[in-house]
Amino acid sequence: MKANRNVLAFHTIKNVRKIYDNTVENPAYLDLNAYFPEYKMIEENWQLIYDEINQVIEESTIPEFHDIDAGQEFISNNDQKAWNVFVLKLYGFWINKNAKKCPKTREIFKDWNHVKTINFSILAPGKYIPPHRGPYRGILRYQIALEVPQNGECYIIVGGRRHYWKAGESVLFDDTYTHEVHNKTDERRIALLLDVKRRDFGFFMRIFDWLYYKLFQIVILVSGGLRRTKVY
């Protein structure tokens, strides 16, 4: 599995992840009711959310993931198949220009401060995302499928376990486990992705995590990450 960052960043992330690994333990997939019971409200409104992003897709040119974050090029620009990402919120920062295009979706999440990143992931037909690991164990990754291919296999593998998406159904996992995605179909797949802040750390780990999370925010600001997410 290739590193998706430069050498210094890769080893920094790897070493810090060991601190988290020594502090928290959980399986690849997590119980939604225990860790993110708010998913029920999202499932109740999934069709509304889908209608908004579908309108955005029809009217806008949405960047590919590696256009937003060049460090992700090996998993985004690997097979001449598009992986487009429409970001509403990134590491706690609302992308107001984008969020205005999905006002009903924003209304749902506006007071959910523990949801740090909100984006829509659009996989082109045939897209394959190779094995990789998330850089930060302070969040859990929530997904709800909004549009799923009807013919063929479309799934994610996390920690060696396969999950098939179904429209309107949720899944929660730890993205620091190795995971990969397969869309072995001639149809696109659309999902809403959230980064949900963990709330199961002890006192000292909460302090460390707060500092490390602030570092991520600084990197986003300095690198111009907010600007690259905007859709016009």
Quick one: tokens of 222? 């300095």
CB atoms within 10 A of CB 130: 14
- What pLDDT is stored for residue 8 in this prediction? 58
Name the phi and psi angles at 117, rounded to 5. Answer: -135, 135
Question: What does the domain layout of the chain look like in residue ranges?
Answer: 7-229
- What pLDDT is stored for residue 219 in this prediction? 84
For residues 167 and 175, give the distance between their C-alpha atoms in angstroms, rounded to a whole number. 21
For residues 173 and 161, give the distance between their C-alpha atoms in angstroms, rounded to a whole number. 11
Taking only the tens place, the pLDDT of each residue in 142-198 is 999 999 999 999 999 999 999 999 999 999 999 999 999 999 999 999 999 999 999
Left, alpha or beta for 224 (phi > 0: left; psi -120 to 50: alpha)?
left
- What pLDDT is stored for residue 7 in this prediction? 54
Return the CATH number of 7-229, one of 2.60.120.330, 1.10.540.10, 1.10.1380.10, 2.60.130.10: 2.60.120.330
Quick one: tokens of 149? 């291919």
Q: Flag residues of the chain having pLDDT under 70.
A: 1-11, 232
Output the pTM of the full model: 0.92
